[in-house]
């Protein structure tokens, strides 16, 4: 009961103490992990009592040959994100402030590459922005989702990709259907409808979809990312109306 009062309906915490973590943040991470895991306190005892091998540090796919196909490069970026693994600890290790300039976020991307720790969806999107910044002919934009499952609200974000009139997405999620989408969708509405279908399969009630503007390729720009220039309230639309709105939004985004 004491743990329930402490953590309430919290989905996860964010580390604001930097690295190394301060004692309070470290203990909060373990406390929450034990709270949400079926093994409880035994989980901490089991993990801390192990002798674990050294974890290999994955190499980010940057400075790739210009002759390499874009689809291959995107697959390599996605594999890199997956090699870091999704962060199940309940503590997001990097405090990403979405309203900060892109140059600020890219410094966090460099820190994440050096640390090579597991990441959550927002961290994965920032990493994907960094790893794809050299592809000048690639249009990148954030796509955010708000959903509900068992009276708990969840927020998720991926990096939408547009290249040669085809769409896809990069990212990480607990659910494999809610992250990477190959560059095979002929329009944005098809891509987003695939995500809608994936949310339905997961048993989530999709509440909102937000589509952001194109992310600049200049890593040093002080321009901030527009995370939601278009917002769709999915709860107020049936499937047919939602499809029409997605198609309309797709045309608006394409003109920008």
H/E segment holding residue 87: none
Helices 121-131 and 102-115 sit at what angle, rounded to 10 degrees?
100
Does residue 182 have a cis peptide bond before it, meaning omega lies within 30 degrees of 0? no
173 catalytic? Reply is yes
The verdict on whether 147 is a catalytic residue reads: no
Rounded CA Rg of the chain: 19
Distance of alpha carbon 154 from alpha carbon 208, whole angstroms: 11
Q: How many CA atoms lie within 13 A of 82 on its CB side?
A: 11
Rounded Cα distance between 65 and 150, Å, is: 47
Residues 116 and 226: their CA atoms lie apart, in Å, by 27
The answer to whether 204 is a known catalytic residue is: no
Catalytic residue among 131, 156, 198, 249: 156
Distance in angstroms (rounded) separating the CA atoms of residues 244 and 170: 24
Q: What are phi and psi of 213, to 5 degrees?
A: -85, 170
Nearest by Cα to 232 from 143, 151, 106, 139: 143
Catalytic residue among 133, 173, 198, 250: 173
Catalytic residues, by residue number, are: 121, 156, 173
């Amino acid at each position: 009961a004491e743990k329930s009062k402490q953590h309430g309906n919290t989905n996860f915490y964010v580390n604001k103490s930097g690295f190394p973590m301060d004692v309070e943040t470290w203990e909060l991470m373990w406390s929450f992990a034990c709270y949400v895991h079926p093994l409880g306190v035994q989980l901490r005892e089991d993990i801390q009592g192990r002798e674990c091998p050294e974890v290999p540090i994955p190499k980010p796919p940057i400075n790739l040959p210009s002759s390499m196909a874009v689809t291959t490069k995107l697959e390599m970026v996605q594999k890199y994100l997956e090699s870091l693994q999704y962060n199940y600890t309940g503590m997001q290790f990097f405090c990403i402030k979405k309203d900060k300039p892109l140059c600020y976020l890219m410094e966090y991307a460099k820190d994440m590459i050096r640390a090579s720790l597991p990441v959550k969806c927002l961290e994965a999107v920032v990493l994907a922005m960094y790893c794809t910044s050299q592809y000048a002919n690639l249009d990148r934009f954030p796509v955010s989702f708000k959903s509900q499952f068992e009276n708990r609200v969840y927020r998720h974000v991926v990096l939408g990709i547009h290249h040669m009139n085809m769409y896809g997405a990069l990212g990480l999620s607990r659910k494999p259907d809610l992250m990477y989408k190959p560059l095979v969708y002929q329009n944005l509405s098809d891509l987003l409808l695939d995500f809608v279908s994936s949310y339905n399969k997961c048993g989530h009630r999709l509440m909102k979809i937000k589509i952001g503007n194109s992310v600049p390729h200049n890593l040093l720009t002080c321009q901030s990312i527009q995370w939601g220039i278009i917002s769709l309230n999915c709860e107020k639309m049936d499937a047919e109306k939602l499809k029409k709105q997605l198609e309309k939004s797709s045309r608006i985004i394409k003109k920008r």
